[in-house]
Structure 1
Amino acid sequence: MDWQAGTAKVWHGLWTIWDAARKFALENPLDPFPLKRTLTGYNTVKAKADVRAGINVALLGFCQGMAFASMAGLPLRYGVMCSAISALIGPWLASSRHTVLGPTNGSAFIIFSYFASYPHLDQLQLMPMLVFLVGAMLILGAYFRIADLAQYISRSVIVAYVTGASVMIVINQAPLLLGVERVATRVKEGETAPGNVFGNVWNFLTHLSAANWWALLVALATAGCYVALRHWKPKWPAFLISMLPGPLVCLLLQRFNIFLPTFASGELDAANLLPPFPSFLSSEAPSQFAQLFGLALGIAFVANLENSIMAKTLASRGNYRVDGNQDMLSLGAANLACAYLAGMPASGSLTRSALNFESGARTAVSSLVGGAVCLTGALTLGPLIVYLPKAALATLVICIAISLIHRRQIRICLRATKSDAFVFMVTFIATLLVPLHVAIFTGVGVAIMLYLRKAARPSLVEYEFNKEGNLAEAALNAQRQHPSISIVHVEGDLFFGAAELFRTQIQRTCSDPNLRIIILRLKNARHLDATSVMALEELVQTMRKAGRDLIISGAGKDVYRVLRDSGVLKDIGRENFFMGSAQNPNISTRNALKRAQEIIGAKEADVHIYYDPRHSKKDEGAK
């Protein structure tokens, strides 16, 4: 019977979990098929605009897919297939009409940085599992509605991250300009490698003797074409057109038996387009999960940030609204598809999304058209990739990376405040020394710590009634002649960062031997947490041991709830706790003073008032 009861409890627990998950899914406002609203009333006018925009985006997506795959150190097919598959899957679940998903600088930066730091890892074998984890994290994040957290990331962190990553890409691609293959520092399995900017520069310099200077000619021709088009014909597809001089120069040099490094002929063969599926039943799956979890979290974070920024920007220009969590769900679904069909993480592409909008796209159908055209190109034009010199694609990659370095934004970050400058420098240096997913979390952590440091600095000033009965600043280190009551006006956030300083300030006040009672006026105190509550509990215990009392006045409902639920209200005593009143803000303090006089047995009290001058200049007292 015991085992039957145990089994029943297990089944009851599983049913409870299932029922809670089912209710959570039903109550979640995410739309399982938002594209149906687009298809309702769809007409030929919208279709023509979407087809035209989709073809333009497909041409750019095909080229950028190869470029970003090269950035990440992956075969070109990974980037091209990611451009096609994510553009085909994302629109079915997205709220944005113009966002185009696919490989981006951000995800390519992080992948390259990570595997350059750990070159002993099998990048191609781990990629499907990595992309699957990214997709799963994004879907869970969408259901728990955490997409809006991206707005709390300091701009200094983002600018430094993009700048540092751009420098890393330039240094990584520079050897290919001279026909020198990238050389990574190899180590024994289980060890880390110094895959940072200094190691890459040293490897490049030590292999200059193998340089092919004809490759530099191709690079100069490609760069000249790209810069000229961007300057004189900014509306032309500069990236696509700039890829033409490279193969032409390469074919010309072959007539003179001069051969340049090109991509393998099987890079985009139909038989090689699908990567190996991630296996969750193999013995290596747990170790892969542990190895890739932090990297996947970093990529998911950056991908959602890019997608959110682009979706909101285009929505404001198109005069419609987007749901960040709905778009996060579409991004997660696209990455799950890429895990089985492409093998490279997808994000919201800034350049392709902007081109989609500028090309006149009316609905998300344009992304479906672009994905279909890109997939067709991958299946039919793949063999032609053998004629593309690596120096040409590396040049375009460097041009993209340099275009992301905004000097004005860097200057603002360095000159605005010391905190912004410090956050920028820490994040920038971290991108050069550690994997980028570690660097961006380092920058975010430093920015949060500096903010908490600013927010956790209470400044209290003592006031007292003078002989004329008016409030005036108390004399420094003045001794009270009578038993006194001190009012500590607390204003601001009493979170964990402020708890220690708050306790120190109060203990300094308690050092006066004549002090009998402290009234904490918590009218404007906010965000009490466990740390501040425990500090308050220690203060109550310390004062009681010294024969003193603590009274709280002006507390709001949130403060009351925290103190009640934590049990500290019982230690303070209900008779020593006075709720605030919106109609009469000072009534609770007057009642607290009456209670204090009752405790010390005095009809009059020498009243001292503390307040934070940063938040309020109002003198409040009780008569």
Structure 2
Amino acid sequence: MRNMALHPGLSFLLPFTNWLPNIDKRDLRADLIAALTGAIVVLPQGVAFATIAGMPPEYGLYAGMVPAIIAALFGSSKHLVSGPTTAASVVLFSALSVYAAPGSPDYVILALTLTFMVGVFELALGLARMGALVNFISHSVVIGFTAGAATLIAAKQLKHFFGIEMDSGGHLHEIIFNFSQQLQQINPWVTGVALVTLFSGIAFKRWFPRMPYMIAAMLTGSILSVLLDTWFGHATTQIPNVGALPATLPPLSAPHLSLQHVKDLAPTALAVTLFALTEAVSIGRSLAARGGYRIDGNQEFIGQGLSNIAGAFFSGYVATGSFNRSGLNYQSGAKTPLASIFAALILMVIVLLVAPYAAYLPKAAMAGILFLVAWGLIDFKEISHILKSSKRETAVLMVTMLSAMFLELEFAIFAGVLLSLVLYLERVSKPNIVTRVPDHRLYKHAFSSDPDLPECKQLKIIRIDGSLFFGSVNHLQERFDRIRTNHPDKKHLAIIASGINFVDLQGSHALVEEAKRRQDSGGKLYLINVKEKLWDSLEKSGDLDVIGDRNIFQSKNAALHAIYHKLNKSVCETCENHIFQECRNKN
């Protein structure tokens, strides 16, 4: 099949035509081996994530079937594996539990509707070529949201971990308060199974890293539960089980797009869309960098959108890129997206064979597994790095994390993104402005910012590093005012513009106003080392004529030579600084 070519026009609508014809036997073998490992791992994860989402356990498995196949066919990554994830599951539970009881038919309908809406949003963004949108969600937002969501995961599993009846809905402080009121009802048998599952998972992960630690821990907890029921009787232990899963392929389903449902779910759908796309594209880019290839962010948007639209009709809830399964897919030697497709097909076979045995899976074991999942999601190293390196990023991290814990999860994403943008705008609204002086100690009298160097009595030279737009105009004008107030004798102002990449209408007007003020006081405004974009912007706005093209220079030497001849020579005669080469030559 190597080197077969299909019509190039199919590459956008059918991106799999770019790689499918080039697969050989070695690729097939490598993908099949990687798929077998991935299918085994997704079995406990799917059930665990569905439990987090408040969905029937089998829906977590369904979300790893058809959506994974569609995402692999229509995405651009060779290694990205889509399916249910922790973050999407927590957001889904947080948003939908307000409208319906988790696990109920109404709840499932809402989940399918939300999944469809997320898919439509993702597809629309992809078709609109908005792949760069994920760049507005900073790394600190992702780290903070994940840490907050992980804390909620553990909190919501307290009732299953300790075997007590309590309301696990609401925010973190509400869950902790409810738990504190039920301490006397803790079931030691359930807690024992949960602890054994937890510690066995830690042990398998540490000392037997090649063994799927989640499956090993679940088997350990399940065996212990069966033994305790056999020895002491279920009436004594009262260890609840997940129950048998239906041994069927994903049944057909459909979202319910009523006006009320769309209105209620739109904010959550948008928040999930932003986070899901960020997760998928970030994972895809990371693995692509390791694999030596590039992904198309817009194509990933399309693939994720189609996968969720399909999932809504095949009993799957919100799916996105999974870091654990994608990383495992890469490490297992996958060569093409066929590995993800094979994994989904193998998962279907596994479900048909082992689903009935979930009747022996205790909820306490699932809680122990989810405690492990929650702990693994908190990136303590990166959190520590953010706390030490940047106060701004620390603020974004803390706001996002605390919002996830104590407010609505979807609001946490918006709050983190909004704060990131506000801090960014605050930063770029204050371009760096420094004084520059020719330094005779440097080669060709290069400019220097040494404050001890003398300045010209008639000319102020500054360098602006940053864009001149409506947000930075006030800062720029305040600096101009201070220069005129502090240096009234310096009638001339030269701006080194090599650091100005962009100027909008208000920015160019600010330059024009300063040029007029300088001219009225008997001086001039000069621009040095003007970039092409700045020149074009000034020319289109007509402001270039006001400043005067003779006052714009593309080199330092030409600028200083011309400006020197415009200075008041009577002032020059009494000046002893001689900072320009022309001053030195004359003397």
Report the CA distance shift for 1:520/1:177 in structure 2 as closer, same or farther (over 3 A).
Answer: same
Structure 1 residue 338 corresponds to structure 2 residue 324: no
1:488/1:519 contact within 8 Å kept: yes
**How much has 1:398 moved relative to structure 2?**
1.1
In the TM superposition, what are the counterparts of 1:421-436 in structure 2 within 5 Å? 421-436=394-409
2:437/2:461 contact within 8 Å kept: no
**How much has 1:132 moved relative to structure 2?**
2.0
**How much has 1:505 moved relative to structure 2?**
0.7
**How much has 1:381 moved relative to structure 2?**
4.1
Among 122, 125, 128, the residue aligned to 1:138: 122
1:268/1:385 contact within 8 Å kept: no
Report the CA distance shift for 1:491/1:412 in structure 2 as closer, same or farther (over 3 A).
Answer: closer
Give the 3-state SS of the residue equivalent to 1:490 in structure 2.
strand
2:144/2:398 contact within 8 Å kept: yes
2:156/2:175 contact within 8 Å kept: yes
In the TM superposition, what are the counterparts of 1:493-512 in structure 2 within 5 Å? 493-511=467-485
Distance, in Å, in 1 between the alignment partners of 2:163 and 2:474 is 60
Distance, in Å, in 2 between the alignment partners of 1:128 and 1:588 is 67
Structure 1 residue 70 corresponds to structure 2 residue 51: yes
1:81/1:378 contact within 8 Å kept: no
Give the equivalent residue in structure 1 for 2:66: 85
Give the equivalent residue in structure 1 for 2:538: 563
Report the CA distance shift for 1:83/1:506 in structure 2 as closer, same or farther (over 3 A).
Answer: same
Report the CA distance shift for 1:524/1:252 in structure 2 as closer, same or farther (over 3 A).
Answer: closer
Structure 1 residue 323 corresponds to structure 2 residue 302: no
Among 241, 258, 262, the residue aligned to 1:262: 241
Give the equivalent residue in structure 2 for 1:611: none
**How much has 1:517 moved relative to structure 2?**
4.8
**How much has 1:399 moved relative to structure 2?**
0.5
Among 147, 150, 167, the residue aligned to 1:183: 167
In the TM superposition, what are the counterparts of 1:60-459 in structure 2 within 5 Å? 60-115=41-96, 123-148=107-132, 150=134, 153-181=137-165, 183-184=167-168, 195-255=170-230, 256-258=233-235, 259-263=238-242, 265=244, 268=246, 270=248, 273-279=251-257, 282-284=258-260, 288-379=261-352, 381-455=354-428, 456-459=430-433
2:136/2:421 contact within 8 Å kept: no
State how many pairs are aligned: 557
Deviations 1:194-223 (A, max 9, x none): x32111111222233443332112212222
Aligned partner of 2:146: which letter? V
Distance, in Å, in 1 between the alignment partners of 2:580 and 2:115 is 60
**How much has 1:249 moved relative to structure 2?**
3.8
Report the CA distance shift for 1:542/1:35 in structure 2 as closer, same or farther (over 3 A).
Answer: same
Distance, in Å, in 2 between the alignment partners of 1:345 and 1:161 is 17
**How much has 1:238 moved relative to structure 2?**
1.5
Give the 3-state SS of the residue equivalent to 1:244 in structure 2.
helix
Deviations 1:342-384 (A, max 9, x none): 3411111122122223333332222112111223344554444
Distance, in Å, in 1 between the alignment partners of 2:51 and 2:505 is 49
**More displaced, 585-594 or 550-559?**
585-594
In the TM superposition, what are the counterparts of 1:609-620 in structure 2 within 5 Å? none
Deviations 1:263-311 (A, max 9, x none): 355x6464984444243xx343xxx334333322332222223223332
Distance, in Å, in 2 between the alignment partners of 1:568 and 1:292 is 49
Distance, in Å, in 2 between the alignment partners of 1:498 and 1:278 is 47
In the TM superposition, what are the counterparts of 1:440-589 in structure 2 within 5 Å? 440-455=413-428, 456-461=430-435, 484=458, 486-511=460-485, 514=489, 516-536=491-511, 539=514, 550=525, 552-569=527-544, 572=546, 575=548, 578-581=551-554, 584-588=555-559
Aligned partner of 1:506: which letter? F
Distance, in Å, in 2 between the alignment partners of 1:549 and 1:176 is 76
Distance, in Å, in 2 between the alignment partners of 1:437 and 1:621 is 62
**How much has 1:85 moved relative to structure 2?**
1.4
Give the equivalent residue in structure 2 for 1:614: none
Aligned partner of 2:111: which letter? M
**How much has 1:100 moved relative to structure 2?**
1.3
1:552/1:577 contact within 8 Å kept: no
Distance, in Å, in 2 between the alignment partners of 1:289 and 1:605 is 74
**How much has 1:77 moved relative to structure 2?**
2.5
Give the 3-state SS of the residue equivalent to 1:53 in structure 2.
helix
Aligned partner of 1:555: which letter? V
Report the CA distance shift for 1:377/1:527 in structure 2 as closer, same or farther (over 3 A).
Answer: same
Aligned partner of 1:36: which letter? T
Deviations 1:457-478 (A, max 9, x none): 5344376999xxx9998999x9
Structure 2: runs of 5+ lacking an equivalent: 1-6, 574-578
Distance, in Å, in 1 between the alignment partners of 2:436 and 2:20 is 68
Report the CA distance shift for 1:371/1:529 in structure 2 as closer, same or farther (over 3 A).
Answer: same
Aligned partner of 1:261: which letter? P
Distance, in Å, in 2 between the alignment partners of 1:464 and 1:181 is 77
Deviations 1:66-121 (A, max 9, x none): 11111222222321111111222122123322221111122223323444677799
Report the CA distance shift for 1:164/1:604 in structure 2 as closer, same or farther (over 3 A).
Answer: farther
Aligned partner of 2:281: which letter? S
Aligned partner of 2:339: which letter? S
Structure 1 residue 55 corresponds to structure 2 residue 36: yes
**How much has 1:141 moved relative to structure 2?**
3.0
Distance, in Å, in 2 between the alignment partners of 1:133 and 1:78 is 18
Report the CA distance shift for 1:363/1:327 in structure 2 as closer, same or farther (over 3 A).
Answer: same
Query: How many percent of aligned residue pairs carry the same amino acid?
Result: 27
Distance, in Å, in 1 between the alignment partners of 2:122 and 2:374 is 26
